[in-house]
Structure 1
Amino acid sequence: MNLLMCPVCREQLQFEGKTWRCENNHSYDEAKQGYVNLHVVQHKHSKNPGDTPESVQARRAFLGAGHYAPLQQAAVQKIRELRIENLLDIGCGEGYYTSAMSHEVMQCVGVDIAKNAVQAAAKTNKGVTWVVGTGSTLPVLDHSIDLCTSLFSPIPKAEILRVLKPEGYLMVVTPGPQHLFAMREALFEEVQAHDPHKFVHQLEDAFDLAEELLIEAPMTLPQQDLKHLIAMTPYAYKAKAERRKALEEQDAFSLTAQFQILLLKKKSA
């Protein structure tokens, strides 16, 4: 079954030739890279929303070096245990996590608002349905998804509840309390621990917390990888220029990434 939904009339899309089309004859051509753009103009708030090309390139280089592999492996293992059929990854970016997770499911849809990120993702894995789209209108049918994942991405609660099956799950990955603490100390005068459980409180009326895991990844980064890490985070533009420059000039830097995985189950109606 095709999972995609027309963003205009909300009917099911069928793939014919190189075009996605609904029964009302709204059509969306597949790009040559292998993705479809379902982010229609009436849903846009800016011309080029989402991550910049520079941020996408930095993230591809950093993740490709394997520094966040412990998180990727933990997410894949959890999906394997859940025996998922249909997966929707919200904010898939350039597809590092999505591609790995897709091998554990029957159908996988990756959606991101940044077209340049989805273009990069589509080049790496043809087994995923890659979509440029927005969380405010997730481009999949009602009650069609077994698991929604959001790794460092927005959590459009109402839309997630719409697309999840009655027994569906939501996996949220957010920074752990001490995530990149040493780097943040180098960039900012005041640093506070992250609160990963704020999402649990925001979702507790509609989801039960089924499981939580804290994953740590200690690393010593060479200078180029450190630059990539800074560039792919919000810290890149929030830090003072002189502090960022001083950090980027270090030949090597030791720090620990810490990830909180929250597995939530949709409450029965």
Structure 2
Amino acid sequence: MPVSLFVCPLCQSPLQPAIDTWRCDGSLNPKQTTHSFDVARQGYVNLLPVQQKKSKAPGDSQVSIEARKRFLNAGHYQPLQTLICQKMAELLAKNELPSEQTNKPVNWLDIGCGEGYYTQVMAQTGMDTLIAADISKPAIVELAKASKAASSLWNQKDKNDGIKTAVIYPLVTSAAHLPLRAQSINGISSIFSPILPEAFNDILSDEGYLIIAKPDIGHLATMREALFDDVREHDSDKFLQELAPYFTLLNTYHVSTELKLSADDLADLLTMTPYAYRAHTEKRQALLASVSTETFATKAKFVIYILQKMAVA
């Protein structure tokens, strides 16, 4: 692990990982003093200073995380997980990324990783270091636990000796203030997470990759029709214009899957999405009541974008 991969979120000085406490060297701090960040017992590190928080407990709540874990672990979105990781593995297999021959590790960032449903499989696609970042502390706690169970946590001595698995660094951090050195990352994945063109451009190496997954047109259409009087369609590619100054779009992929949901599945899906608070309580209750005796049918539709950072002329 290069010493300077991480930077201090307070003064941007190089930040050195250590088993108990991460500490910056203070070289960029006007006062030349250092900052320290304790490693939690689960193995994650909180690099979200109070001044970068917009609320006391930012990000997804424990209730939302538990609902998402149940829903995703039931396999409802597995086709999306499979396609994302397949495309990621193809990119990592290309000679354009650093390889063992150049002795340069491949560093990947999964931004807005949540509890790690996609992250854990990403770790098996060929990179060396996988930084899993989310602003939600409860989500990162869950991801750290899962990473430890898979013997892939950064501070474990008993790393997985089977198939190549990346070393995972779970971080609580803001996507707008990533604690990473400029041009230190070879790839970024953003699965239903914020798109920050300038921040991504800053930390990505030249010709690094960006994988974005968003809801596609018609995603969960029947559910949204039951919840809202005025259904607005997903404008999935609206951010591409913002990325255009920095990135070239290489490919677009679409994937869909038919869902047959029980009342419990549907309740979890509602809880893990913005529909949990955007829809009127009466409509949510009516929808759940309608599936008390039979499954609810809907279709999940996603779009995946593969982009590459433009080389500096």
Shared topology, TM-score over 0.5?
yes
Alignment of 1:92-103 (within 5 A): 92-103=113-124
The residue aligned with 2:108 is: 87
Q: What amino acid is the match of 2:303? A: Q
Q: What amino acid is the match of 2:7? A: M
Q: 2:297 matched to 1:254?
A: yes
Q: What amino acid is the match of 1:210? A: L
- In 2, the alpha carbon distance for the partners of 1:115 and 1:73 equals 26
The residue aligned with 1:209 is: 249
Alignment of 1:61-72 (within 5 A): 61-72=70-81
- In 2, the alpha carbon distance for the partners of 1:55 and 1:189 equals 25
- Cα RMSD, aligned residues only: 1.2
The partner residue of 1:191 within 204, 208, 231 is 231
Q: 2:139 matched to 1:109?
A: no
- In 2, the alpha carbon distance for the partners of 1:12 and 1:100 equals 29
- In 2, the alpha carbon distance for the partners of 1:4 and 1:109 equals 10
For structure 1, which runs of at least 5 residues remain unmatched after alignment? none
- In 2, the alpha carbon distance for the partners of 1:174 and 1:16 equals 36
Shift of residue 41, structure 1, vs aligned partner: 1.4
For each residue in 1:46-85, what CA deviation from the matched residue of structure 2 results, as whole angstroms up to 9, or x when unmatched? 1111112111111111111111111111111011101162
The residue aligned with 2:264 is: 224
Larger Cα Rg: Structure 1 or Structure 2? 2
Alignment of 1:144-163 (within 5 A): 144-163=184-203
Structure 1, 1-10 or 26-35: larger mean CA deviation: 1-10
The residue aligned with 2:156 is: none
The partner residue of 1:4 within 3, 6, 23 is 6
Structure 1, 13-22 or 220-229: larger mean CA deviation: 13-22
The residue aligned with 1:59 is: 68
Q: What amino acid is the match of 2:220? A: L
Matched residue SS, 2:14 = coil
For each residue in 1:64-114, what CA deviation from the matched residue of structure 2 results, as whole angstroms up to 9, or x when unmatched? 111111111111101110116211011011111111101111110011111
Give the ranges of 4+ consecutive aligned residues of structure 1 lying more than 3 Å apart after TM superposition.
none
Shift of residue 121, structure 1, vs aligned partner: 1.0
CA contact (8 A) 2:37 2:46 kept: yes
Shift of residue 135, structure 1, vs aligned partner: 0.9
Matched residue SS, 1:56 = helix
Shift of residue 178, structure 1, vs aligned partner: 0.8
CA contact (8 A) 2:9 2:49 kept: yes
For structure 2, which runs of at least 5 residues remain unmatched after alignment? 27-33, 98-105, 153-167
Shift of residue 167, structure 1, vs aligned partner: 1.0
The residue aligned with 1:268 is: 311
The residue aligned with 1:22 is: 24
The partner residue of 2:83 within 74, 86, 106 is 74
The residue aligned with 2:182 is: 142
CA contact (8 A) 2:19 2:39 kept: no
Shift of residue 242, structure 1, vs aligned partner: 1.1
Alignment of 1:159-170 (within 5 A): 159-170=199-210
Q: 2:37 matched to 1:35?
A: no
Shift of residue 4, structure 1, vs aligned partner: 2.1
Question: What percent of counterpart residues are identical?
Answer: 44
Matched residue SS, 2:37 = strand
- In 2, the alpha carbon distance for the partners of 1:53 and 1:70 equals 25
Matched residue SS, 1:124 = helix
Shift of residue 15, structure 1, vs aligned partner: 2.1
TM-score, length of structure 2 as denominator length? 0.83
For each residue in 1:167-207, what CA deviation from the matched residue of structure 2 results, as whole angstroms up to 9, or x when unmatched? 11111111001111111011111213211111212211211
The residue aligned with 1:124 is: 146
Structure 1, 30-39 or 192-201: larger mean CA deviation: 192-201
- In 1, the alpha carbon distance for the partners of 2:51 and 2:285 equals 40
- In 2, the alpha carbon distance for the partners of 1:234 and 1:51 equals 10
Matched residue SS, 1:247 = helix
- In 2, the alpha carbon distance for the partners of 1:142 and 1:156 equals 15
